[in-house]
Structure 1
Amino acid sequence: MSLEKLKDRNISMGDYINVLENDYPKTPWEQFKQVSKRSVKLELFGGLKIVWKMMTGALFKNEMHTIQYPIEKAPLGPRYRAVHKLLGLLESGENRCIGCGLCEKICIADCIRMDTKIDENSRKEVMEYTINMGRCIFCGYCAEVCPELAIVHGGRYENASEQRAHFVLKEDLLTPLDKLAQQKEYPGFGAVSPDADEKIKKTPLSY
Structure 2
Amino acid sequence: MSGLEQFKDRNVSQNYYKVKIEPYPKTGWEKFKRVVKRSIKLELFVGLKITLMEMLRFNIHTIQYPKEKLPIGPRYRAVHKLLRLLESGTERCIGCGLCEKICIANCIRIDTKVDEFGRKIPTEYTINFGRCIFCGYCAEVCPELAIVHGQDYENASEQRAHFALKEDMLTPLDKLKEQKEYPGFGAPTPAADKLIKKTPLAY
What corresponds to 1:84 in structure 2? Answer: 80
**Within 5 Å, which residues of 2 pair with 1:30-179?**
31-58=31-58, 63-179=59-175
1:10-53 CA deviation, whole Å, 9 max, x = no partner?
xxx9999999x667667666654544444344444433332221
Could you tell me the TM-score, scaled by structure 2's length? 0.70
**Distance in 2, Cα, partners of 1:30 & 1:109:** 64
**Distance in 2, Cα, partners of 1:42 & 1:98:** 72
Pair 1:204 & 2:167 matched: no
**Distance in 1, Cα, partners of 2:16 & 2:107:** 50
Aligned residues: 185
Root-mean-square deviation over aligned CA pairs? 3.6
Q: Give the letter aligned to residue 50 of structure 2.
A: I
**Within 5 Å, which residues of 2 pair with 1:170-189?**
170-185=166-181, 186-187=187-188
Q: Which has the larger radius of gyration?
A: 2
Q: Percent identity?
A: 70
Could you tell me the TM-score, scaled by structure 1's length? 0.69
**Structure 2 residues not aligned, in runs of 5+:** 1-11, 182-186
In structure 2, the CA distance between the partners of 1:115 and 1:195, relative to structure 1 (3 Å rule), is closer
**Distance in 1, Cα, partners of 2:147 & 2:97:** 12
State the 1:147 CA deviation: 0.8
Higher relative contact order (CA 8 A, sep 6+): 2
**Distance in 2, Cα, partners of 1:141 & 1:83:** 13
**Distance in 2, Cα, partners of 1:34 & 1:143:** 64
1:37-89 CA deviation, whole Å, 9 max, x = no partner?
4434444443333222112212xxxx444433333333333322222111112
Moved more, 80-89 or 174-183: 174-183
**Structure 1 residues not aligned, in runs of 5+:** 1-12
SS at match of 2:109: strand
State the 1:192 CA deviation: 5.4
What corresponds to 2:4 in structure 1? Answer: none
**Distance in 1, Cα, partners of 2:147 & 2:159:** 24
